C-alpha cells in the first residue's frame, strides 16, 4: 500500500463454453475452467474448499496447526460422501489421541489416547492408518482410514460378528464375564483396571451407538445394560 503504483499482467484465455454434459453437471465445467486457469499460471490444482477453511479455523482455535487439518474436502466428499459434521467429529476424536500442536499422532500417544496397553492388534491398527510408515498419523490419514472402514462392504457385518464372538454362551446377551476375557484374548496385556476404565467410559455412549451399530438384533437391547 505504500507503493506509488503496482504492475500487473493480464492474460486473456480462450473463451470456454460448456459442453452438453457440462451443462447438466456444472461441477464438470467448473473443474475444466479452473484446470485451464491453473495451467496458464503454471500452478497445481488442489481440492480445498470452504469446509477446509472452516476446519482449519476450528483447529487453530483448539491450538492445533491449521495446516494439519486440511483434507481436500471435495475429494473425500466424492469418495466417501463425507460431510462437514463428520469431519468435525473425526477431528474431535483425532485431538483426543493427543495430536499436539503439530497435529500428528505417534504410536505412544495413540495407545495413551485409547487408554489401552501396547499390543500386536493396536500396532496393526496404527500401521493401517500410517500407510507411509512414518511413525505418526496425520489427520488426513486418520480421516481416510476411518472413512474407508465405514464404507467397506463388510463393515455393517462386523458388529454382529464381534457380538457373536463375545457372546460366550450364545444366549443373545453380553455379560461382563463374557466380554472381559474375549477382549483380553485380543489384547492380552489389558489390565483389569484398564478394562474397567474403558467400560465406564463406554457407558456414556453405549445405548444409542451400540444399538445402532448392532442393528437392533434380538437380545441386544437388554444386553446393553449388562455391559
Where residue 197 falls among pLDDT bands split at 50, 70, 90?
confident
User: What is the pLDDT of the chain when averaged over all its residues?
Assistant: 79
**Residue-level pLDDT at 158:** 78
Stated as kind and residue range, the H or E segment containing 137 is strand 136-138
Alpha-carbon distance of 82 to 89, in angstroms, equals 11
Is this model's pTM higher than 0.75 or not? Answer: no
Structural contact between residues 174 and 223, judged by C-beta atoms closer than 8 angstroms? yes
Residues 6 or more apart in contact with residue 130 via CB below 8 angstroms: 136, 137, 141
Alpha-carbon distance of 182 to 43, in angstroms, equals 54
Q: What DSSP letter does each residue of 71-112 carry, written as one string?
A: --HHHHHHHH---HHHHHHHHHHHHTTT-TTTTEEEHHHHHH
**Residue-level pLDDT at 137:** 92
**For the chain, what is the radius of gyration of the CA atoms?**
24
**Residue-level pLDDT at 101:** 87
Where residue 221 falls among pLDDT bands split at 50, 70, 90?
very low
Structural contact between residues 40 and 31, judged by C-beta atoms closer than 8 angstroms? no
**Residue-level pLDDT at 223:** 38
Domain 50-151 belongs in CATH node 3.40.47.10: no
> What are the grid coordinates assigned to 11, written together?
492474460
Stated as kind and residue range, the H or E segment containing 138 is strand 136-138
Where residue 227 falls among pLDDT bands split at 50, 70, 90?
very low
**Residue-level pLDDT at 53:** 79
Structural contact between residues 84 and 54, judged by C-beta atoms closer than 8 angstroms? yes
Alpha-carbon distance of 182 to 226, in angstroms, equals 15
Residue 70, CB-side half-sphere exposure with 13 Å CA sphere? 10
Phi, psi of 136, deg, nearest 5: -150, 165
Task: Please give the span between the terminal C-alpha atoms of the chain, in angstroms, as a whole number.
Answer: 66
Q: What is the pLDDT of residues 143-193, one digit of tens each?
A: 999 888 888 777 777 777 877 777 766 777 777 777 778 888 888 888 888
**Residue-level pLDDT at 169:** 67
Q: What is the pLDDT of residues 90-135, one digit of tens each?
A: 888 898 888 888 889 999 999 888 888 888 889 999 999 998 899 9
Beta-bridge partners for 136: 106
Structural contact between residues 179 and 166, judged by C-beta atoms closer than 8 angstroms? yes
Where residue 203 falls among pLDDT bands split at 50, 70, 90?
low
**Residue-level pLDDT at 67:** 77
Of 47-56, 190-199, 216-225, the range with the lowest mean pLDDT is 216-225
Q: Average the pLDDT over 67-76 and give the result.
A: 77
Alpha-carbon distance of 214 to 9, in angstroms, equals 61
Angle between helices 107-114 and 120-129 (to 10 degrees): 120
Where residue 204 falls among pLDDT bands split at 50, 70, 90?
very low
Amino acid at each position: 500500500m505504500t507503493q506509488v503504483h503496482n504492475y500487473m499482467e493480464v492474460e486473456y484465455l480462450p473463451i470456454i463454453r460448456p459442453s452438453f454434459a457440462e451443462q447438466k453437471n456444472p461441477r464438470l465445467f467448473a473443474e475444466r475452467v479452473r484446470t485451464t486457469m491453473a495451467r496458464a499460471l503454471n500452478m497445481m490444482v488442489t481440492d480445498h474448499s470452504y469446509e477446509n477453511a472452516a476446519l482449519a479455523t476450528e483447529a487453530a482455535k483448539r491450538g492445533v496447526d491449521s495446516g494439519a487439518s486440511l483434507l481436500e474436502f471435495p475429494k473425500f466428499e466424492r469418495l466417501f460422501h463425507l460431510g462437514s459434521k463428520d469431519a468435525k467429529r473425526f477431528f474431535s476424536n483425532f485431538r483426543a489421541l493427543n495430536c499436539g500442536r503439530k497435529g500428528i499422532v505417534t504410536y505412544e500417544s495413540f495407545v495413551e489416547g485409547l487408554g489401552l496397553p501396547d499390543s500386536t492388534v493396536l500396532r496393526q491398527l496404527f500401521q493401517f492408518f500410517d500407510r507411509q510408515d512414518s511413525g505418526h498419523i496425520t489427520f488426513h490419514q486418520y480421516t481416510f482410514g476411518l472413512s474407508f472402514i465405514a464404507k467397506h462392504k463388510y463393515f455393517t457385518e462386523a458388529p454382529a460378528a464381534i457380538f457373536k464372538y463375545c457372546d460366550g454362551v450364545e444366549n443373545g446377551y453380553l455379560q461382563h464375564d463374557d466380554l472381559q476375557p474375549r477382549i483380553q484374548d485380543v489384547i492380552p496385556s489389558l489390565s483389569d483396571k484398564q478394562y474397567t476404565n474403558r467400560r465406564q467410559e463406554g457407558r456414556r455412549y453405549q445405548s444409542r451407538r451400540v444399538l445402532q451399530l448392532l442393528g437392533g438384533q434380538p437380545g441386544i437391547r437388554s444386553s446393553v445394560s449388562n455391559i
